[in-house]
Structure 1
């Protein structure tokens, strides 16, 4: 696991406070794809449980897995008591129980690419569903976006995670759909986008930046400087584009 992947636990409370949750439309999309009620689900890299809540509060029996103890402790404060929690990285999960749905919310890119799909296939029931969803939070106003880019530039070229397989941003099928299309274990790959527009205060926007791995791995002094520089160029409130890209696939029957 990379330093960036390990960086979140120290910010568990901020992650819970500043990262937006997931809309009901996402649950509806996954359920429609499944074609039947989803009774059991396994979440990979559950963080503080933003996506766990979406499914658990709608009657799905969720097992939430997360390698970081601080994140898992924060999750347990916010999810229904019936959610089962397991402290484990994806690579440490042992095949055994299978689930109608296995999903990752802005976490799949931290998993090992060499064994990702064989491990995933071992966890999904034949005919069951795999889902991955997430997306960057971007400033909607190009002039504000440029001011923030310039303020960040002495410290970071970019704060986004590049496509793990190098797929260009404008390509019709984005990662991980590109990998799923080549997988022997999954079929029916579908990509959808749920549009999401938010308004937040400048302070909350910087709070959200403080949970992003690119900033978390900076030395503390640089992190303080870059957030101070960004705050200086932000208006009091900012408009955000936070579209959710959803990839769905079905486990081939055995």
Structure 2
């Protein structure tokens, strides 16, 4: 993944907070059940505006939220729970020191560099600590509406998908990063689970969500607006969204 794309969100931090869906309590329950007991401390990779930060903080976890983009971190600070510490840093800049019961990334792990990803993640975990990564595509649930939007977008942008970092096919049973975790000798008990999520949005809200997607942010400003306008014309007044959360979990293996 390109560094430019990874650091393109700061300019739209307020829109990111407004239009990106948050995370449900069911997600915290999945992570806690896997951990086998209460999670007390966590390090978050690429916290963004704190959508997942607030979820785990609400469940009593002391979260250290790391984020390299100052604007995103500033937006996170507007909604900061008391049990959250923020650090402006990319994952690659984190040095092992304090170990955490949970290290997690919410729709952010694909922006990290593959070199040293798993050794760094393992080094930041307590023995048998839990690594979690979660996210997934936000898609129009109606295939006819999806096709209309694809056709409207096509003159400006072929695809707004983020490809799998290791080339795993979209229909493979085990998705990335579970594939890499399974190959790593540093982690054990790799699991993949899905938290179902269905949303209803007004058309302007859906286009607002698209305005936070990195593929659109890479377009020239005038082209970007033309794409949004074309998509808006293709949308009904309200849209149903399929936004299932794919969760990957693993445990730090024996040293």
Report the TM-score when normalising by structure 2: 0.98
What pairs with 1:105-254 in structure 2 (closer than 5 Å)? 105-254=106-255
Distance 1:154 1:119 in 2: 41
Residue by residue over 1:208-241, the C-alpha shift from the partner in whole angstroms, topping out at 9 and shown as x without a partner, is 0000000011100000000000000100000000
How far is 1:79 from its partner?
Answer: 2.3
How far is 1:169 from its partner?
Answer: 1.0
Match of 1:77 in 2: 78
Residue by residue over 1:154-186, the C-alpha shift from the partner in whole angstroms, topping out at 9 and shown as x without a partner, is 111110101111111111100000000000110
C-alpha RMSD of matched pairs (Å): 0.7
Distance 2:119 2:156 in 1: 38
The answer to which of 201-210 and 163-172 deviates more is 163-172
Residue by residue over 1:5-61, the C-alpha shift from the partner in whole angstroms, topping out at 9 and shown as x without a partner, is 010000000000000000000000000000011000000000000000000011100
1:28 matched to 2:29: yes
Match of 2:50 in 1: 49
Match of 1:89 in 2: 90
Distance 1:81 1:39 in 2: 14
How far is 1:126 from its partner?
Answer: 1.1
How far is 1:3 from its partner?
Answer: 1.0
The answer to which of 187-196 and 73-82 deviates more is 73-82
How far is 1:81 from its partner?
Answer: 2.7
Match of 1:68 in 2: 69
Partner of 2:32: helix, strand, or coil? helix
Partner of 2:233: helix, strand, or coil? helix
Number of aligned residue pairs: give it: 254
Distance 1:233 1:58 in 2: 40
Report the TM-score when normalising by structure 1: 0.99
Distance 1:82 1:60 in 2: 7
Distance 1:235 1:196 in 2: 21
Q: Which runs of 5+ in 1 are unaligned?
A: none
Distance 1:117 1:55 in 2: 22
